[in-house]
Amino acid sequence: MYTVSRSPPYDQSSRTQDSDNWLQWALFGLGGVFLLGSIIVLVGVPGLPLGGLTDTNSTSLSPTDSVSPVPDPTETERQTPVPTATATSEPSDTTIYRINVGGPRLKATDNGPDWLADQENAPSTYLNHRVSDTVVNDTPDPITVENAVSATTPQSLFKTYRFSRKPKLWQKEMEWGFPADPNSVYEVRIYVVEPFFTSGQSGRPSEESYSEEGPRSFDVVIENKTALQNYEPFVEHGHDVGAVKSFETTVDDGSLTIRFHHRVENPVISGIEIIEKNPGNGNN
């Protein structure tokens, strides 16, 4: 008799193997879930902030929110600011010498210096009175002045004058010398009046007719250059008329010199004024 061996309905080894398979699939599923969660944490889900969590202390933008672009700088903002130069005032002219030739000291009517005296017994220290033959005089006549004469110039300046007689062999022409800066430019003003010659006979002993006794003609030389040649005050200005002649010059040796040369009759002068042009600027 043959004995037939039957396996039970459930083989124990097979059940064990099936259990192992389910366990592996379960572990594999858990690993997949863990891997998927890691990917979500690292990459994020659309519509959610990184990490999938919302920070309640920060502001997040929804998908429909938009960001306004930052405007480009304007042309003015792109330009480099240009420094603005500060305006500086130029130095003003300065009057440094005034002489009331042949008369007393006169008080200035502006902010400049007074007109220094130059008298018979106390000649100006700027005049070469020791080596020249000059005479001081005055006129009782009323004086009119030309428009070129500044309103701040005293009219009494023309009431007195000094004239130079023709020098003898050992004498020199009338000359004035003023200390000056070689690096500066100067304006020299010569004030003149014709007190002696008239257009007719006045009957006064101190006056003569120009047509009979004239002319009076002389040269003015400034810094060895002729500024006026054959200058005739009466012809140019008339009798008892105050006038001014202005010239610019520079100085080479530290002394600004003014000489009066005879032509016909005696050179005559009533005042001298010297202005330094823009002190400190030099010979520009």
> What is the value of pTM for the model shown?
0.67
Contact of 180 with 255, CB cutoff 8 Å:
yes
User: Residue 62: its pLDDT value, please?
Assistant: 45
User: Residue 118: its pLDDT value, please?
Assistant: 98
pLDDT in tens, 185-223: 999 999 999 998 887 666 666 677 776 777 899 999 999
Closest listed residue to residue 270, CA positions, set 233, 235, 221? 233
Tokens 């600004």 belong to 256
User: Residue 278: its pLDDT value, please?
Assistant: 77
Contact of 242 with 144, CB cutoff 8 Å:
yes
User: Residue 215: its pLDDT value, please?
Assistant: 84
The residue ranges of every structural domain in the chain are 94-277
User: Residue 68: its pLDDT value, please?
Assistant: 47
The CATH code of domain 94-277 reads 2.60.120.430
Regions of the chain where pLDDT drops below 50: 1-19, 22, 25, 40-43, 45, 47-68, 70, 77, 283-284
Closest listed residue to residue 262, CA positions, set 167, 129, 198? 167
Contact of 197 with 216, CB cutoff 8 Å:
yes
User: Residue 35: its pLDDT value, please?
Assistant: 55
Closest listed residue to residue 115, CA positions, set 135, 141, 185, 126? 126
State the amino acid at position 105 in one-letter form.
Answer: R
Phi, psi of 21 (to 5 degrees): -65, -45
Contact of 234 with 212, CB cutoff 8 Å:
no
